[in-house]
Amino acid sequence: LNETDFLEYFGNDPDTDVILGYIEDIKDGKRFLEIAQKVAKIKPVIIIKSGSTEAGARAASSHTGALAGSDRALTEAFKKVGIIRVNGIKELFEIAEIFKVKKLPKGNRLLVITNAGGPGIIAADTADRLGIRLDPMSKSSIEAIVDKLPSTASLYNPIDVIGDATSERYRVVLEQAIKDPIIEGIYVILTSQAITDVENIAQEIVNKNKKSEKPIFACFIGGKSVKNGINILKEAQIPCYSDPSTGITAYKKLIEFVEIKNRKDPEYVKIEIPEENRQKVKFILEVLQNAGVTAISDENAIEILSLYGFNFPQRALAKTPEEAVQIAEKMGYPVVMKVSSPNILHKTDVGGVRLNLRNADEVYNAFIDITLNVKRFMPNAYIKGVTVYEMITDGKEVILGVSFDKTFGHMIMFGLGGIYVEVLKDISFRIVPVTKEEAHEMIEEIKGSKILEGVRGEKPYDKESIVDKILRLSQLVIDFPIIKEIDINPYIVKHQGGVALDARIIIDYIKI
């Protein structure tokens, strides 16, 4: 029996409400995801996965491979199927605690009730960071409680019933919160003070919880002085924490579980690729495989991606400086020049790229510089020549890529592009196959996504073009799993459409 067998069993077990686990390895990633996707929609699945550092990750040859370690694949796989991942035993049980609630929130609007400002602020800060809304109660609710609380009480959210609050003040606010249609969950924070009737407040929470259709959970702070109150809550199966932020963090997982339960089954868009194009790609890969080639760059990579709907600039291979000048004159300035060699994946690293060349002299000298640089840095590399490209002068640089994980298979990567991608690491991943919704999420979750919306009066850039290319990469590696890595860096996204400027592909020795 393996981890997937146990997951399937407990998923079907009527006596199991929450599944907790610790795993070190997943034997069959495809089957695990298939079972987990079914189980996680019914019951919360909370798992610790050890080995989360990159110390054991392989050395990768492409930008995409270097950025996509096995732990990242696991994180994305869990996200895809709705598994809650935690990093330690303490966190495992803290998150499990919130699932004692039998009523699930209908949204992410939470009311915090507290008798101390500090813990309330901590809870509010955590909620804001996690995207939980702390909207105030309705005007009618505030009017209903204002005369029953001291004038110093804060009536918004968090509602601060002040340090000398007894169970009566908590009762007043709880009763109104349960009736208020704006509120979708209630978090009761108590700090033990001189006149705090801890046990009565705990019992009030229990009583109101019986009548409420909304989840109620608590945070009791005070060590031994609140122990009896905590026991009352525990006996009634009401989640209780000792840290305000921990309770909020756990509640966020409850909200996410509801979203997972309500999530529609994924709709995978099959990109229509002409069968003729598919056969051409198959032929190219077979020829390269038979020749023992694993690292594909330049023309072969460009041709494969072009057949799957990617656009590239005009280009032509020059074998002499004079030929480079002739191509540039015909193409029109400015131009870009890059070394063409099957042995060189990262051309910039060996001085094999020149940009913004504006006349014949610059092109002539660039050809000589590039070839000399490559011979100095990689004397054994085979140089086919130097490719002259039309220079794309507008748009934003992003990176698109594919990596392969031995457990979960292919992943698509998206992020801000250029030579600093490995430093900035502003990237997102998804496990193949990728849905259109996931492709949109990939774009929105990177920090630099706002740049694509246009800044300082710019028009927005074509995000749909990026979505389309993400789906095409997903389709390509589904059709040809021999492809293990793809690196398109940069892909220039314009206000309408986009152009790939450079590409490399890594293939395996597996038979197509």
Q: What is the DSSP string of 84-123?
A: EEESSHHHHHHHHHHTT-SS--SSSBEEEEESSHHHHHHH
Strand partners, 354: 337
121 and 39 both lie in a single domain: no
The per-residue pLDDT for range 327-343, each reduced to its tens digit, is 999 999 999 999 998 88
In this prediction the pTM is 0.80
Q: Are 141 and 200 within one domain?
A: yes
* 219 assigned to some structural domain: yes
Single residue among 390, 409, 429 that ends a domain in this structure:
390
CATH number of the domain encompassing residue 475: 3.30.470.20
In a domain, 97, yes or no: no
Kind and range of the H or E run holding 212: none
Q: Is the pLDDT of residue 61 over 80?
A: no
CB atoms within 10 A of CB 9: 14
> Which residues touch 402 (CB under 8 Å, ≥6 apart)?
64, 410, 411, 412, 413, 432, 473, 476, 477, 483, 484, 485, 486
Each residue's pLDDT tens digit, 109-145 = 999 999 999 999 999 999 999 999 999 999 999 999 9
Report the CATH number at residue 328: 3.30.1490.20
63 with 158, same domain: the answer is no
**Highest mean pLDDT: which of 190-199, 236-245, 403-412?**
236-245
Consecutive H or E run containing 317: strand 315-318
Region label for 309, one of left (φ > 0), alpha (ψ between -120 and 50) or beta (otherwise): left
- Does residue 410 fall inside a structural domain? yes
CATH of the domain at 79: 3.40.50.261
What is the model's pLDDT at position 447?
Answer: 85
Query: Omega of the bond prior to 490 within 30 degrees of 0, cis?
Result: yes
Give which of 261, 246, 425, 247 is closest to 238, Cα–Cα. 247
Return the percentage of the chain with pLDDT > 70, whole number: 94
59-68, 204-213, 256-265: which is most confident: 204-213
Query: 373, 390, 407 — which closes off a domain?
Result: 390
Q: What integer is the mean pLDDT of 139-154?
A: 94
Domain residues for 442?
A: 396-507
| CA within 13 Å, CB half, 342 | 10
Indicate whether 258 belongs to any domain: yes
Q: Please check whether residues 362 and 410 belong to one and the same domain.
A: no
* Domain presence at residue 267: no
Q: Is 468 helix (H, G, I), strand (E, B) or coil?
A: helix
Q: What is the rounded (10 degree) CA torsion for 230, 233, 238, 241? A: -10
Q: Would you state the pLDDT for residue 129?
A: 96
Q: What is the pLDDT of residue 56?
A: 42
Backbone angles phi, psi at 116, to 5 degrees: -150, 130
- Shared domain for 53 and 176, answered yes or no, is no
Number of domains in the chain: 4
pLDDT value for 375 = 93
pLDDT exceeds cutoff 70 at 486: yes
> β-pairing, 19-23 with 45-49?
parallel
Q: Kindly state whether residues 335 and 482 are assigned to the same domain.
A: no
Answer whether residue 93 is part of any domain. no
Q: What are phi and psi of 238, to 5 degrees?
A: -105, 120
* 354 within some domain: yes
Whether 256 and 126 share a structural domain: yes
pLDDT, one tens digit per residue, over 359-410 is 999 999 999 999 999 999 999 988 999 999 999 988 888 999 999 998 899 9
Tell me, yes or no, whether 377 and 415 share the same domain: no
Q: Phi and psi (nearest 5°) for 405? A: -110, 135
In order of 104, 318, 395, 499, the CA distances from 331 in angstroms are 63, 13, 20, 17
* 279 shares a domain with 181: no
Q: What is the Cα 346 distance to its own chain's centre?
A: 27
CB contact burial 144-178 (16+ within 10 A = b; e otherwise): bbeeebeeebebebbbbbbeebebebbbbbbbbbb
Question: Which residues does residue 240 pair with via DSSP β-bridges, in sequence order?
Answer: 218
Query: What confidence score (pLDDT) does residue 70 get?
Result: 72
Distances (CA, A) of 427 to 63, 119, 225, 394, 441: 11, 35, 48, 22, 12
The DSSP 8-state label assigned to residue 154 in this structure reads: B
User: Do 146 and 74 have their domain in common?
Assistant: no
Distance CA 123, CA 134 (A): 10
Collect all residues with Cβ–Cβ distance below 8 Å to 58 and sequence separation of at least 6.
65
Q: Which one of 357, 390, 423 terminates a domain?
A: 390
Q: What residue has token string 């507008």?
A: 394
Mean pLDDT score across all residues of the chain: 91
Whether residue 224 is found in the same domain as residue 352: no
Q: Is residue 96 part of a domain?
A: no
Q: Are 255 and 309 within one domain?
A: no
Sign of the dihedral defined by the CA atoms of residues 428, 465, 266, 250, in that order:
positive
Contacts of 453 (CB under 8 A, 6+ apart): 460, 461
Whether 391 and 373 have beta carbons less than 8 Å apart is answered as: no
Contact (CB, 8 A) for 373 and 428: no
223 secondary structure, DSSP code:
G
Taken as a whole, the chain contains a residue count of 512
